[in-house]
Amino acid sequence: MKIGILTGGGDCPGLNPVIRAVVRTALREGFQMIGIQNGWKGLVDNETKPLDLSAVSGILHRGGTILGTSRTNPYKDKALLDKVRANYRTLGLDALIAIGGEDTLGVAARLFQEGFKVVGVPKTIDNDLSGTDFTFGFDTAVNIAMEAIDRLHTTAESHRRIMVVEVMGRHAGWIALYSGLAGGADLILIPETPIKMEEVTAVIRKRLERGKNFSIIVVAEGAKFDGAEAVLGTKLDEFGHVRLGGIGEMLANKIEETTGFETRVTVLGHIQRGGSATAFDRVLGTRFGAKAVELVKNGQFGQMAALKGNEITAIPIEAGTGKLKTVDPAFYEMARKFFG
């Protein structure tokens, strides 16, 4: 059996552990592995490379993806889609393993509906795919953000400042919630709950009353003032996403205006997507990769690996991509107990 593998969408630590696990378990089954480079773009342009044991040697600890990635959407242009269909056949693929988030796996689900034998592996630092308790990349991003928050405490205290930390999380505030709780943030703002300045100033005032003349506020890049996201320009990517950015600056300016406190902003950005994966993400990625090969071997196409509790299972790809997994209101309410 000849299996293709691709990584699409935003990269993250953990991708190479998945690729390594897929290749090593597939080769043990006597399958042949073809790496498709740069996400769906590689299938459009027939950019591939064979994957053998040496190709995946020494990549377990490496961030990013040895295959490269892109945000190419073949369903945006019939000519691209025709090339994908043709190259899938020209390459003689018996199956394709797509590693990605809502966009990449959304394409995989549509190809499956057309009759292509596709299996998915959920990937995103945002942890916003339904049907799986966690996606790999998320734990690493949270730890990177937590370490930054720990560092920001000392400078905030020394200068008696409000430090606003902007973290990634396009539509869901999982990174903000987890890193804020782990880092002891005094306020956590997520896309799921609109920012109310009175709540922000109340937290700062409450801390001042107990002698704390500094605060750490974690805000997700997708958080909104009066329903409006902070965006950088109007350009959309091929899946219709705007580039988010600026909410941290907006919030900091409003805080300074309202409270008079010196306020500074740290935007963690793509640092959250770089470097080596945590042990949790390496193990989860390895388990997901092995599951993907099992699904191919058993002919369970249109399915994606998923984590339920501590079990690796499989769900229909649409079940993972149809509706984003946003922060549970009860979880956020619990976090509120630690604000201020």
Choosing from 124, 132, 135, 263, the residue that interacts with ligand F6P (CB under 6 A) is: 124
Number of residues that bind ligand F6P (CB under 6 A): 12
Site for ligand F6P in 162-181 (CB under 6 A): 168-170
Residues 215, 152: Cα–Cα separation, whole Å: 10
Give whole-number Cα distances, 119 to 98, 112, 134, in Å: 6, 9, 18
Site for ligand F6P in 191-250 (CB under 6 A): 221, 244
Q: How far is the CB of 90 from ligand F6P (least distance, A)?
A: 29
Three-state secondary structure call for residue 256: helix
Provide φ and ψ at 282, rounded to 5°.
-65, -40
Nearer to ligand F6P, 11 or 318 (CB): 11
Q: How far is the CB of 139 from ligand F6P (least distance, A)?
A: 14
Q: Kindly name the residue from 11, 103, 126, 139 that is annotated as catalytic.
A: 126
Q: Token pair of 336, please?
A: 């509120």
123 binds ligand F6P (CB under 6 A): no
> Any catalytic annotation for residue 126?
yes
125 binds ligand F6P (CB under 6 A): yes
Alpha carbon 29 to chain centroid, angstroms: 30
10 binds ligand F6P (CB under 6 A): yes
Q: How far is the CB of 168 from ligand F6P (least distance, A)?
A: 3
Residues 100, 96: Cα–Cα separation, whole Å: 13
Nearer to ligand F6P, 106 or 340 (CB): 106
Site for ligand F6P in 82-101 (CB under 6 A): 101
Q: 32-36 and 48-51 as β-strands: parallel, antiparallel, unpaired?
A: antiparallel
For the chain, the distance separating the N- and C-terminal CA atoms, rounded to the nearest angstrom, is 58
Nearer to ligand F6P, 167 or 204 (CB): 167
Q: How far is the CB of 12 from ligand F6P (least distance, A)?
A: 7
Q: Token pair of 56, please?
A: 């995946």
273 binds ligand F6P (CB under 6 A): yes
Q: How far is the CB of 77 from ligand F6P (least distance, A)?
A: 19
Residues 239, 219: Cα–Cα separation, whole Å: 24
Q: For every residue of 132-150, which 3-state class applies, written as one string?
A: CCCCECHHHHHHHHHHHHH
The count of other CB atoms within 10 Å of the CB of residue 197 is: 15
Site for ligand F6P in 126-145 (CB under 6 A): 126
Q: List active site positions.
A: 126
Give contact residues for ligand F6P (rule: CB under 6 A): 10, 71, 101, 124-126, 168-170, 221, 244, 273
